[in-house]
Amino acid sequence: MLNFSLILLSYLMGSISSAIVVARVMHLPDPRTQGSGNPGATNMLRVGGKQAAAITLAGDLLKGLIPVIIARLLQAQMDTLLLVALAAFLGHLYPVFFAFKGGKGVATAAGVLIGLHPLVAAASIATWLIVFKMRGISSLAALSATAITPVYIWLFTQSSIFVAFGLILAALVFWRHRSNIQKLLQGTET
């Protein structure tokens, strides 16, 4: 029962849209109606500037990290930790509070990875930073970091269940970035 409660609470925490909350508190336009229409940190940078984007990024990261930390403190087994992490991530992508229309999941994925394995998270974040510095395209950096994350998981843990989690995470991030991938292939992504 405890495991189910942890997973459900993680999904509900993930369902809190940091971008929408930040927009309301800062009296900014709803990010779902502006810019790319995505309720995430990159679009909040367009809609509300650096401060709104930074707060959104922190909120999205924390809603992935906090449930995993709580599960760790309750000494949850690895399979439960991964389900808690996945639930928080899915909450961000498909939030019950916002008609199941959420963000693309990159910051929340980083949060769950920090909670699950800080070295994997550090390697993934470093990949994002390197690709972004080289190309200046956030979506390309996110896709590159996400694609290599299962490799980092394997290198640091050799855990097949954790690698499977990384592959699911990557598949969902790629799915949510479908339009960005199309623009990258067409050379029109900004």
Q: What is the pLDDT of residue 96?
A: 94
Q: Is the pLDDT of residue 2 over 90?
A: no
pLDDT category at 107 given cuts 50, 70, 90 is very high
Domain that includes residue 123, residue range: 2-186
With cut-offs at 50, 70 and 90, classify the pLDDT of residue 121.
very high
Q: What is the pLDDT of residues 20-60, one digit of tens each?
A: 999 999 999 989 988 888 898 988 998 899 999 999 999 99
Q: Which of 165, 170, 166, 164 is nearest to 144 (CA)?
A: 170
Determine the pLDDT at residue 71.
Answer: 96
**Whole-number Cα distances in Å, 117 to 37, 68, 103:** 31, 10, 23
Considering its fold, how many domains does the chain have in total?
1
- Our CA dihedral for 128, 132, 135, 141, rounded to 10 degrees, sits at 40
Mean of all residue pLDDT scores within the chain: 94
Does 1 have pLDDT greater than 80? Answer: no
Over residues 140-179, the pLDDT tens digits come to 999 999 999 999 999 999 999 999 999 999 999 999 999 9
Q: Give the pLDDT score at 18.
A: 94
